[in-house]
Structure 1
Amino acid sequence: MNRSHLPGILAMAAVVVASNILVQFLFGQWLTWGAFTYPIAFLITDVMNRVYGAGPARRVVFVGFVVGVVCSLIGTQIMGEFGPLVTLRIALGSGLAFLTAQLLDVSIFAALRSGKWWRAPLASTLVGSSVDTVIFFTIAFSGALTWIEPANDVSWAGEMLPLLGAGPMAPLWVSLALADWLVKLSLALLALVPFRMIVTHLTAKPA
């Protein structure tokens, strides 16, 4: 790790901290504000991968993971209206989702890096974001995994409601996951613009 990697490290740490804070605030019925900041982590990983390679990208991911663990530990000590802001299931789901999805993103990007410029960041982010959503929401809220933290009552997340308020009946947590996933997919497409601009700037040869 050298000084040229520091902006990526700081950016990843900032995104993780901001997302952990903003996830406490609702945006509409299905989302939190954190849903709009967290996907930036994939943009940071992809920029690092394109400019510096898979090794530095993985190191930035591990920094983000450590920062996320620290945020979760702090959250477990802050009591909200219904108990700790961060439960064991949320901490476990968040950590596993981040690390698995981001490392998968790095591997897919590296495998596709020689293709068209947009293919690697788009494919890696789409797959990584999908895996992230499945892992986090399943571990954090699925009724099948209550054995992880029996004292944590997540029965509210299993309430059967129309999917996103209009579709077939499904557990509430599935609607939350689907809404989060759709935001990630949308931002994956939008992120291609700043990805191209940042990579071009960082790789431009001095005049």
Structure 2
Amino acid sequence: MTRILPGIIAMAAIVVASNILVQFLFGQWLTWGAFTYPLAFLVTDVMNRVYGARDARKVVFSGFLVGVGCSMVGTQIAGEFGPLVTWRIALGSGLAFLTAQLLDVAIFDRLRGGAWWRAPLVSTLIGSAVDTALFFTIAFSATLAFIEPANDVSWAGEVLPILGFGPASPLWVSLAVADWGVKIALALIALVPFRIIVRRLKPNLA
């Protein structure tokens, strides 16, 4: 456990920071948390490459527990429009994180024998797509309103052009598309620190 402690600390820091920064808007479609949360995939992939899938999953589960704790705290803090974290958001966040990160670990492990960049890139792209789809659907889709009937998310169902210029869809779809776009960009950028960190920790693996 000691050898993956830096990974656990990094994952916890990312989860806590993202839970705080998601409260602050960045433009019309994003929050600042959209720029910190994808770093969780970088941490998972580094742990996977250096220490293997088993230890990477331990880091994921530690991040999940921290995320649950943040959500529980958020449900007890009143904001301008109600609790900072609704039960739908808490459920969506937890399920999306755990599912996407474990999927990332599995895909990375399957592809680890190829070119150095293939496993982190493919696993992150697929994992982040699943993460985005699960979170925004669970948290904001009108079809899942039964999860928390008292939580009014009708604002997320307002029909608008996607990102202001695409076909008409509920607002939450635009939020999801913008979020995934950031994840794609960061997945490509993260290949640089991934390569550097792995080379320093395990030169023979890079």
- What's the TM-score, normalizing by structure 2? 0.98
2:180 is matched with which residue? 181
| Structure 1: stretches of 5+ with no match in the other structure | none
1:133 is matched with which residue? 132
Post-superposition CA distance 1:17-73 (Å, at most 9, x none): 000000000000000000000000000000000000000000000000000000000
Which one-letter code corresponds to 2:71 in the other structure? Answer: S
2:31 is matched with which residue? 32
Distance in 2, matches of 1:101 and 1:50, equals 17
Distance in 2, matches of 1:204 and 1:100, equals 30
Which one-letter code corresponds to 1:22 in the other structure? Answer: L
1:4, distance to aligned residue in structure 2 (A): 1.6
1:121 is matched with which residue? 120
Distance in 2, matches of 1:98 and 1:21, equals 16
Compute the RMSD of aligned alpha carbons. 0.7
Matches within 5 A, 1:20-169: 20-169=19-168
Post-superposition CA distance 1:75-114 (Å, at most 9, x none): 0000001100000100000000000000000000000000
Question: Identity over the aligned pairs, expressed in percent?
Answer: 77
Post-superposition CA distance 1:106-147 (Å, at most 9, x none): 000000000000000000000000000000000000000000
Which one-letter code corresponds to 1:34 in the other structure? Answer: G
Distance in 2, matches of 1:204 and 1:116, equals 15
Distance in 2, matches of 1:163 and 1:189, equals 24
Which one-letter code corresponds to 1:48 in the other structure? Answer: M
How many residues are aligned here?
204
Which one-letter code corresponds to 2:138 in the other structure? Answer: I
1:190 is matched with which residue? 189
Distance in 2, matches of 1:69 and 1:63, equals 10
Distance in 1, matches of 2:130 and 2:203, equals 33
1:15 is matched with which residue? 14
Which one-letter code corresponds to 1:103 in the other structure? Answer: L
Distance in 2, matches of 1:110 and 1:190, equals 21
1:203, distance to aligned residue in structure 2 (A): 0.7
1:180, distance to aligned residue in structure 2 (A): 0.1
| Structure 2: stretches of 5+ with no match in the other structure | none
- What's the TM-score, normalizing by structure 1? 0.98
Distance in 2, matches of 1:167 and 1:130, equals 19
1:167 partner SS:
coil
1:204, distance to aligned residue in structure 2 (A): 3.1
Post-superposition CA distance 1:158-189 (Å, at most 9, x none): 00011101111110000000000000001000
